[in-house]
Structure 1
């Protein structure tokens, strides 16, 4: 009977990757003091008798056989514990910590452990010596599920994590409150950023190399007339994580071939087209008509994880199907085509991503088998004039150094027009300026290029703009006693995604190697109509310790998941953009730090795809260097003669003689009084 139940568990939950939520309570008497509700599915790898590795799905079912114990945070204590035992075969321990953080005290899950007993039913064909023993894995020094103590933490989104090496977990529908439980129920929730409704994320990083191969050209034909009813030009890059035969995880990256086979249907109000390739792989799109225009309603991807696209895959012949429901506005009028050469990224799931480029589509009212008049996406139209102005400061110092004797006025006159002209006041105080004052000609070293990213809203227009140079400093272990720090920049071509809501917005940057994901969460400080300011509220960083970045790591490919909440950084009025060229450091924990420079961000109130009025950070407020306060001589040059030089030639020696005589007389007087002689200066 248990085998049948386990099989049902695998079939039902192994496909969906989720388990039903179970409620857990720690009580003191009749009062609940620690409260949690979530679904948890484990995937445990174990050695089998044939020297292969098996994988067993385990799930907490709840019911009368489950016992929940723990410790309440009484008398001001900042630790709460929950211990769950499911029929003496499966269990977990959760440790919650509360930190003193003004104006709120923040809690989070600081330690998590799961344990399991090896049985023949749960771990078939395992090594004989394992049966009856207990296995476990735990993670500590984590900061999962952060919230203020007066709130509960709520996150309906699926969260996947690897504990150490043999246990993967899938957590869903998380609702917890380990402190300040009132009336035996959850308080008002603080919802995670991942629960924000996703919108089609796009990004246009500067100088991004086009993927290969070039775009393919496809069409659908109306069977009744023999004429083309859909015209499509598109290039696509697929990036999909999959399980290998050794139960590890790899990422497959491949492209849509130009000879993919198009299939689909043409209609007056809805059109579907699908491109099939490489045996059981396809990408499709559905287009709908609305008010004389057409939109893309849904993208769909289907694939089977097997070679050659997925080398070394654990072949199950299971067809995976994922969809992406878009909220784009109208693409073009009926009878016209839509073109967008810029790259657009679509994260179907945490494991499957699609990047489209060189797109041109006309799904309705095709005439004479040719594209109609183009409607071009604004990402192809908008240009950034900023970089064209950067050479200007390098030419100004060369002009001011021509009058060689006048070295002091040179830097003074240069600094005054440069600061307001470029509004980059940190350059006045950074290292290039001393080089300018001593080196001719002035050749500053350019800083690493900042990334330029944006998120698109439901109307098809940018709703979040972000330019920044982001540096990560991450400590890792090269031995049990020694650590190193990996320091690198977020690449400018990192894939951007995110969401825009009334009170919150988010930007997520993903890049390789290391499966890096950096999420910035923004929030308005007050609800309407008083939502006058926004802040950077939270940061979340996820990555794997890829040896190509973390040289010598003793935990290669270890998954790290860090969160930092309640930051209240970058405070700016809604509708304006925050600008700060100075360095802003954010310490997530003792092992991770993020540095922002040359930052310009606007997460709310974007109009016309452009930044609003700038609000400059206090670090960038200009301070006048001492040299600029020294007045330049202006009286003598007005006459154009050399009278000043003659007067100086007479007055300077005369003053020296007078000072010398006075000093000699004072010296003689001091000696006469028995004073000690002057020391040499």
Structure 2
């Protein structure tokens, strides 16, 4: 845990801030604000990241993920005063800032609104961006919580506006803390309340790193889709099996489509399918267009809880799988492996995807993977060989029959 102590902020006293490093580029932020009497007035602990889509000078679109909050500072965070309520202000990276405001009304307080700003002039984060300057998105959340309750939401929550998607999880926050003591009464978000009735998927683990995980049964095939204003824009059908290695322990997890939620978005040059469940915060499949006439799986991101409570997170935006022409779908009935990293692979079964140019909510003609193509080629070859063998057997039988008939009619 790395702690920061700043000089007194007017109206709020000393500010003590702690940053806890999470797993694999996932950072848990923890903030404890104290008033002039050194009593806690606001407490928050949460994780977040962002995806931003922008237009380039070549009129194509790119999507970047912002998840490194290790450089976070908290200038402007305050306990509030008579005119203004409490506020959390976070600055990180190259020109990113995130602000959340709180208000109080009667016996409740509200997470009033969230503002996120980014500097699209930063060529390192936004190479070849068409627009320049600082852009801001604002979402009036206005979520009400009883006073003297701490709000908790371990489940993944998203805010999507314009070209920005904000992701939050492991959220614990209490504004207007009474008597300087953070409450033990929890007010749960709706997803946490519903997820408590869902039994978590328990992965099978091996006792030693050199032991191969016991193969699990073939996962159930799920059907997923993404809609936009024009109707269905992405289709995916697949059985998914996750292979995770964490701290030298290997696990195999089958995704159950019956307990899995899915969302996403579609753009001219990119498309996203996001899955999440009780133990998977998010599993992202990001598709992209290349050479203006083909699509492929470019990126996979995952953040999930393991059986021991640890958070496992991996991201790879330099993949090249499931390549097919635009206007068609990609299909592979045989088992395939998407290698995201040395510690994470995805096995797919009965796969079919079409992330672009979906017409009337139906798949277009499929381009088959090489494994299926080889199988389709071998079937007629095998049939031909069998027929050839049968012809040879019939011919040999015929010749033997003729020889026997000749020996039966010898002259006297």
Instruction: Output the TM-score relative to the length of structure 1.
Output: 0.32
2:361 maps to what in 1? 609
The match for 1:314 is 150
Q: Residue 257 of structure 2: SS of its match in structure 1?
A: coil
Which of 244, 255, 269 aligns to 1:503? It is: 269
CA pair 315-301 structure 1, distance change in 2 beyond 3 A = closer
Q: CA deviation at 1:471?
A: 1.0
Number of equivalences: 271
Say whether residues 1:452 and 2:208 are aligned partners. no
Quote how far apart the aligned CAs of 1:599 are. Answer: 0.8
Mapped contact 1:538–1:564 kept (Cα < 8 A): yes
Residues 650 and 304 of structure 1, relative CA distance in 2, 3 Å threshold:
farther
1:623 matched to 2:402: no
SS in structure 2 of the partner of residue 502 of structure 1: coil
Deviation of 1:501 after TM superposition, in Å, equals: 0.9
CA distance in 1, matches of 2:394, 2:363: 46
CA displacement at 1:515 relative to structure 2: 3.7
Per the TM alignment, residue 624 of structure 1 is displaced from its structure 2 partner at its CA by: 1.9
Check the 8 A contact 1:539/1:565 in 2, yes or no.
yes
Q: Verify the 8 A CA contact 1:154 1:190 in the aligned structure 2.
A: no
Q: Determine if the alignment matches structure 1 residue 473 to structure 2 residue 234.
A: no
Residues 214-238 of structure 1: per-residue CA shift (max 9 Å, x gap): xxxxxxxxxxxxxxxxxxxxxxxxx
Q: 1:325, 1:109 → 2: CA distance?
A: 16
CA shift digits 1:636-658 (9 cap, x unpaired): 979xxxx849739969xxxxxxx
Shift in alpha-carbon separation, 1:487–1:608, aligned structure 2, 3 A = same
More strand by share: 2
Q: How far did 1:449 drift?
A: 2.2
Change (3 A) 1:115 1:524: closer
State how far apart, in whole Å, the 2-side matches of 1:6 and 1:489 are: 52
- Residues 314 and 534 from structure 1, CA distance in 2 versus in 1: closer, same or farther, beyond 3 angstroms? same
Quote the residue 2:12 is aligned against. 7
Q: Which residue of 2 aligns with 1:521?
A: 286
| CA 560–582 in structure 1, closer or farther in 2 if over 3 Å, else same | same
Q: Deviations over 1:414-444 (max 9, x none)?
A: xxxxxxxxxxxxxxxxxxxxxxxxxxxxxxx
Kindly provide the CA deviation profile for residues 563-621 of structure 1, in whole angstroms up to 9, marking residues without a partner as x. Answer: 10121221111111111112322222222111222110011101111001111112211
Cα distance, 1:515–1:446 mapped onto 2, change above 3 Å: closer
**Structure 2 Cα separation of the partners of residues 446 and 562 of structure 1:** 25
Structure with more relative contact order (C-alpha pairs < 8 Å, separation 6 or more): 2
Q: Deviations over 1:59-107 (max 9, x none)?
A: xxxxxxxxxxxxxxxxxxxxxxxxxxxxxxxxxxxxxxxxxxxxxxxx9
Residue of structure 2 in register with 1:534 after alignment: 295
Secondary structure in structure 2 of the residue aligned to 1:189: coil
Which moved further from structure 2: 465-474 or 483-492?
483-492
Match of 2:352 in 1: 600
The change in CA–CA distance for 1:109 and 1:9 in structure 2 (over 3 A counts) is same
Call closer, same or farther: CA 1:446–1:57 in 2, change over 3 Å. Answer: closer
Contact 1:456 1:462 in 2 (8 A): yes
Task: Indicate if the aligned counterparts of 2:219 and 2:240 stay in contact, CA closer than 8 A.
Answer: no
What is the match of residue 189 of structure 1? 127
SS at match of 1:620: helix
TM-align CA RMSD: 5.4
Q: Structure 2 vs 1, CA of residues 324 and 509 (structure 1 numbering), >3 Å: closer, same or farther?
A: same
CA shift, 1:476, in A, is 2.1
Change (3 A) 1:573 1:55: same
Q: CA deviation at 1:509?
A: 0.4
Change in CA separation of 1:562 and 1:315 when aligned onto 2, cut-off 3 Å: closer
- In structure 2, the CA distance between the partners of 1:315 and 1:507, relative to structure 1 (3 Å rule), is closer
Structure 1 runs not aligned, ≥5 long: 14-39, 47-52, 59-106, 117-121, 123-152, 160-169, 178-183, 192-297, 308-312, 317-321, 327-346, 356-444, 478-482, 548-552, 652-681
User: In the alignment, is residue 583 of structure 1 matched against residue 335 of structure 2?
Assistant: yes
Helix, strand or coil at the partner of 1:623: helix
Q: What is the distance in 2 between the residues matched to 1:606 and 1:585?
A: 25
Q: 2:321·2:338 contact (CA, 8 Å) conserved in 1?
A: no
Partner SS, residue 378 of structure 2 = coil
Contact 2:274 2:284 in 1 (8 A): yes
| CA displacement at 1:489 relative to structure 2 | 1.6
Matches for 1:49-448 after TM superposition, within 5 Å: 173=117, 186=124, 188-189=126-127, 302-304=143-145, 314=150, 350=168, 447-448=218-219
How far is the alpha carbon of 1:114 from its aligned partner? 6.8
CA offsets per residue over residues 37-79 of structure 1, 9 Å max, x none? Answer: xxx9942579xxxxxx998679xxxxxxxxxxxxxxxxxxxxx
Matches of 1:155 and 1:582 in 2, distance apart?
Answer: 46
With over 3 angstroms needed to count, the CA separation of the structure-2 counterparts of 1:155 and 1:471, relative to structure 1, is farther
SS at match of 1:608: coil
Report the alpha carbon displacement of residue 453 of structure 1 after superposing the two structures with TM: 0.3
C-alpha contact 1:518 1:542 (8 A) present in aligned 2: yes
